[in-house]
């Protein structure tokens, strides 16, 4: 269970999160919507432990542990995964090498045996196929020269391989074509399980047709201003955010 309580965070001295409260139980999928600049990505970075995002108040408990006290790599090993809104390019480092290093680092942290080359290859082949990705993409450097949609698919692949307990998907749908959206959503749905929870950040109701959330929240100006069931997304699609006293272009 993830319990976010009264979370305040600043970036470069500017307060972006102004008291976020959110509880996500195992197996639940929560969607967060909200205007540009509301602080959605900021929330995801704070949860992942990015440098420069300073928590000034509040707490985050992750299955009973103090998440905010951990280094980013410890959080990953504990099972926190962030699918980035803007995935990062790492020239020279092959996708396969990257993933193998990641999964073995996490396994090592958990006291599990590292996967050997054969075991890993088998795993990654399986996952790649399920996501309709080509083997050729595995050989390329991490995200280098990938199209916007390919990058998002690659994030989903990483999630599928690392099998986190809690995944934050930051606009994983943006940039995907219609077919890719379905494939990625299916990939995400395949990962849904009673032990795994997800926080899906999106601007579009469409994604939520595929990944049906248990709860939908509106984040505006650094606070959750409204929560509801999946029908809230439809309402937002129709009326925008004006009911929450925010200008959509803010």
Ligand X SMILES: Nc1ncnc2c1ncn2[C@@H]1O[C@H](COP(=O)(O)OP(=O)(O)OP(=O)(O)O)[C@@H](O)[C@H]1O
Binding site for ligand X (CB under 6 A): 11-12, 14, 16, 34, 36-42, 85
Q: Which of 7, 80, 85, 161 binds Mg ion (CB under 5 A)?
A: 85
DSSP secondary structure letters along 112-148: PPPP-HHHHHHHHHHHHHHTT--HHHHHSEETTT--H
DSSP designation for 87 = P
Classify each residue of 216-225 as buried b or exposed e, where b means 16 or more C-beta atoms within 10 Å of its C-beta: bbbbbbbbbb
162 binds, among another protein, ligand X, Mg ion, none (CB under 5 to 8 A by kind): another protein
101 binds, among Mg ion, another protein, ligand X, none (CB under 5 to 8 A by kind): another protein
Take residue 114 and report the two structure tokens written for it. Answer: 């590292």
Take residue 54 and report the two structure tokens written for it. Answer: 């300073």
CA pseudo-torsion sign 231, 232, 237, 238: positive
Where does this chain bind another protein (CB under 8 A)? 48-52, 71-73, 75-77, 81-82, 84, 87-94, 97-98, 101-103, 105-106, 109, 141, 158, 162
Q: Which is nearer to Mg ion, 49 or 99 (CB)?
A: 49
Q: Which is nearer to another protein, 110 or 125 (CB)?
A: 110
Closest CA to 156 of 177, 141, 171: 171
Q: Which is nearer to ligand X, 40 or 223 (CB)?
A: 40
Closest approach of Cβ 222 to ligand X, in Å?
8
Burial of residue 94 (number of CB atoms within 10 Å: 0-12, 13-18, 19+): middle
102 binds, among Mg ion, ligand X, another protein, none (CB under 5 to 8 A by kind): another protein
Burial of residue 115 (number of CB atoms within 10 Å: 0-12, 13-18, 19+): middle
Closest approach of Cβ 68 to another protein, in Å?
15
Closest approach of Cβ 14 to another protein, in Å?
14
Question: Interface with Mg ion by CB under 5 A: which residues?
Answer: 40-41, 85
């Amino acid at each position: 269970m993830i319990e976010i309580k009264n979370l305040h965070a600043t970036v470069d001295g500017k307060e972006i999160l102004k008291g976020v409260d959110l509880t996500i139980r195992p197996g639940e999928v929560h969607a967060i919507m909200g205007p540009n600049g509301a602080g959605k990505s900021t929330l995801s970075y704070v949860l992942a432990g990015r440098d420069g995002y300073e928590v000034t108040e509040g707490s985050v408990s992750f299955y009973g542990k103090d998440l905010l006290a951990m280094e980013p790599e410890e959080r990953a090993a504990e099972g926190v995964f962030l699918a980035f809104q803007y995935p990062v390019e790492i020239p020279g480092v092959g996708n396969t090498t990257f993933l193998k290093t990641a999964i073995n680092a996490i396994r090592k942290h958990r006291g599990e045996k590292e996967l050997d080359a054969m075991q890993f290859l088998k795993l990654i082949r399986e996952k790649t196929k399920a996501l309709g990705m080509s083997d050729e993409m595995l050989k390329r450097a991490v995200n280098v020269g990938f199209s916007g949609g390919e990058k998002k698919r690659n994030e989903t692949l990483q999630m599928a391989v690392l099998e986190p307990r809690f995944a934050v998907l930051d606009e994983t749908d943006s940039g995907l074509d219609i077919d890719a959206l379905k494939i990625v959503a299916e990939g995400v749905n395949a990962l849904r399980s009673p032990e795994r929870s997800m926080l899906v950040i999106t601007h579009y109701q469409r994604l939520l047709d595929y990944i049906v959330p248990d709860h939908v929240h509106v984040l505006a100006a650094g606070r959750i201003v409204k929560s509801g069931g999946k029908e809230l997304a439809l309402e937002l699609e129709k009326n925008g955010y004006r009911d929450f006293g925010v200008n959509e272009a803010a």
